Structure 1
Amino acid sequence: MKMTIAATVLALLAAGSARAAVIDAQPSGFEIRHEVVVAAPASVVWATLVQPSKWWVSAHTWSGASANLSLGAASGGCFCERLPNGGSVLHMTTVYAAPGQKLVLSGALGPLQTSGASGALTVLLAEKDGQTTVTVTYDVGGYFKGGLDKLAAPVDGVVGQQVAGLKAAAEGPQGLK
């Protein structure tokens, strides 16, 4: 069952310590930001983050299955997806990786892939007292027919679903290691 953007935002707010916002939206680009506190150390959050198959929502994949996702968490690494019959998708490329601290990916997600738009997705981890604040920003710019500002809210909703999935997976029964 697909969640609406409003339901996603409400779920994030109910998750506690969650903040989501479209920071800026213009025809030439947008910036979104999500922040959530995860009840797990940064090492567990990082180990979970680099396994998107464990937390990415399957409805937001080209193959329909998050099990087909992988992430090379080193510069030049691929956030990729396997497709049937030997196909594949390069969603984003890792441009910066500091385990337990920061991950920066460059590229376009979903419908942005077929446009002249691209972005930088930055994930910051800050641990304090055994909990980790996860801050995710996605800055997108370029050309998209009709203007990128119209995609800011829907992309914000989708990224919010992924942040909620990351939190849930990292806080799971044993946390991912």
Structure 2
Amino acid sequence: MHYLSVLALACACLASPAAAEVVETSGDHFVTRDEAIVKAAPRATWLALISPGNWWDDDHTWSGEAANMSITPQGGGCFCERIPEVETPTSVGLAGSAQHMTVVLARPETVLRMRGGLGPLQSEPVDGVLTITLQPDKASGGTKIVWEYVVGGTMRFPVERISKAVDGVMSQQLAHLADKLGRAEISAASSPSATSDDATPALAPTEVKDADEVAAELDKMGRKDD
């Protein structure tokens, strides 16, 4: 499965002002930010968050199955994926693995922070920091999840294009987690975003345009090493 082609598909399906929040870009960095409010309490939300095999999208894995994904929620822990062996009539398969990110901060029920380049960014000399904060939402009685991914450094992809595609994928994963936990109704009291020491103040989202063009360009990039 080619990760870039999947990214292009996700961009085409999800790129819209409502779904995509690329809040900041420059020549060598971008920031994506998404949020959701779920019915579950912070503890239940945390326990679901650190079990990505139960909600991550199969299409955004190297192995093709989200069940192979895991997070060890401690400093230095791994957001990893097992790539099972594939047996054939003529050869014995060998298992592999992928390290998607490394945990740098785990505060149960509050914040999970990890470093690493997801998907095609893994092949680039960039650094990414994914911060996921959990806050009790008084209006709904559930939990507000804020999901921010900051990427910086040299990359061979045009920032304006890859940032929109990556945000589409991030939005999709958060949507899967929120659906699993049950979405809560968003009231006026839940917006604008509350901030904490571990959360970044909300910035105005950049409207995403030309989704088909973005998808086609990313797919073209992906075919370079097929």
TM-score bracket, normalised by the shorter chain, equals 0.7 to 0.9
Q: Which amino acid aligns with 1:30?
A: F
**142, 148, 163: which is aligned to 2:174?**
163
Q: Which residue matches 2:30?
A: 30
Q: CA deviation at 1:27?
A: 2.4
Query: What amino acid sits opposite 1:50 in the alignment?
Result: I
Structure 1: distance between partners of 2:63 and 2:71: 16
How many aligned positions are there?
165
Instruction: Report which of the two has the higher share of strand.
Output: 1
Given that 1:9 and 1:160 are in contact with CA atoms closer than 8 Å, whether structure 2 keeps it comes out as: no
Which residue among 5, 8, 13 is the counterpart of 2:11? 5
For the residues of structure 1 that align with 2:10 and 2:115, how far apart are their CA atoms? 26
> Sequence identity of aligned pairs in percent?
38
CA contact (8 A) 1:28 1:149 kept: no
Distance 2:58 2:81 in 1: 11
Which of the two has higher C-alpha Rg? 2
Q: Secondary structure in 2 aligned to 1:113?
A: helix
- Contiguous gaps of at least 5 residues in structure 2: 1-5, 85-93, 184-226
Counterpart in the other structure of 2:63: 63
Tell me by how many angstroms 1:111 deviates: 0.2
2:190: which partner in 1?
Answer: none
The 3-state SS of whatever aligns with 1:169 is helix
TM-score under structure 1 length normalisation:
0.86
Larger CA deviation: 23-32 vs 87-96 = 23-32
Asked if the contact 2:20/2:164 (under 8 Å) is kept, the reply is: no
Residue 137 (structure 2) aligned to one of 122, 125, 128: 128
Residue 150 of structure 1 deviates from its aligned partner by 2.3
**TM-fit CA distance, 1:9:** 5.4
2:102 alignment counterpart: 93
User: How far apart in 2 are the matches of 1:25 and 1:152?
Assistant: 8
Hey, what does 1:41 align to over in structure 2? 41
Kindly provide the amino acid, as one letter, of the partner of residue 159 in structure 1.
M
Instruction: Provide the residue aligned with 2:115 in structure 1.
Output: 106
Aligned partner of 1:126: which letter? Q
Q: Which SS does the other structure have where 1:27 is aligned?
A: coil
Tell whether the 8 Å contact from 1:26 to 1:147 is kept in structure 2 after alignment.
no
Unaligned ranges ≥5, structure 1: 14-18, 173-177
C-alpha spacing 1:4/1:94, structure 2 compared with 1 (3 Å): closer
Deviation per CA, 1:72-101: give whole Å up to 9, x if none.
Answer: 011110000001222100000000000000
Hey, what's the Cα distance between the residues in 1 that align with 2:173 and 2:115?
17
Please name the residue that 1:144 is paired with.
155
Amino acid corresponding to residue 169 of structure 2 in structure 1: V
TM-score, structure 2 normalization: 0.68
